[in-house]
């Protein structure tokens, strides 16, 4: 009888905790091959413009676009996260994501800017800059 009571009491707790974690697991990821590239993909759903700075935040990875990053094979390497200043042709290194859960680092807008977007982000960076006006504009942390 005690097991039944504990079991019945734990069901609402599990349902509630599942409701809290579901949104983070349901974030869409659409990996597209950058035009002219053979193995570099960019995440269309992650790419957006920061309203306060005008910087574009994007991420790229090499390998096959076989679904969400959490299913990306470990041997394909990490996802690289960048902020792009298209007007100045500069980029900022926001780090690597090894498990698909990395957010933007604190103070990311103050990172050092480096010359040549295409040299770092490749043709995906050029495409993102060219389509800046069509990207979602959001207030990023």
The whole-model pTM stands at 0.74
Task: Indicate whether 9 belongs to any domain.
Answer: no
Task: Indicate whether 1 belongs to any domain.
Answer: no
State the Cα–Cα distance between residues 84 and 61, nearest whole angstrom: 16
Number of domains forming the structure of the chain: 1
Q: What is the pLDDT along the chain (141 residues), one digit of tens a residue?
A: 444 333 333 333 333 333 322 233 446 778 888 888 888 889 899 999 999 999 999 999 887 655 445 555 556 677 899 999 999 999 999 998 876 677 899 999 999 999 999 999 999 999 999 999 999 999 999
The CATH number given to whatever domain includes residue 105 is 2.40.128.710
Containing structural domain, residue 59: 28-138
Task: Indicate whether 107 belongs to any domain.
Answer: yes
Q: How many CB atoms within 10 Å of residue 74?
A: 8
Contact 58, 42 (CB under 8 A): yes
Residue 49, CA distances (Å) to 5, 11, 23, 84, 98 in order: 51, 41, 22, 9, 23
Given CA atoms 99, 104, 105, 111 in this order, what sign does their dihedral have? positive
């Amino acid at each position: 009888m005690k097991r039944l009571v504990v079991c019945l009491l734990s069901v609402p707790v599990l349902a509630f905790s599942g409701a809290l974690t579901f949104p983070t697991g349901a974030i869409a990821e659409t990996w597209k091959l950058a035009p002219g590239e053979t193995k570099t993909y960019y995440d269309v759903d992650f790419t957006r413009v920061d309203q306060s700075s005008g910087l574009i935040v994007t991420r790229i990875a090499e390998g096959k676009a076989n679904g969400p990053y959490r299913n990306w094979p470990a041997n394909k390497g990490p996802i690289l996260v960048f902020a792009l200043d298209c007007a100045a042709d500069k980029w900022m290194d926001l780090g690597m994501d090894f498990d698909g859960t990395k957010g933007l680092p604190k103070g990311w807008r103050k990172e050092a800017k480096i010359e040549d977007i295409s040299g770092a982000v490749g043709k995906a960076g050029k495409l993102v800059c060219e389509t800046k006006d069509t990207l979602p504009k959001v207030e990023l942390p």
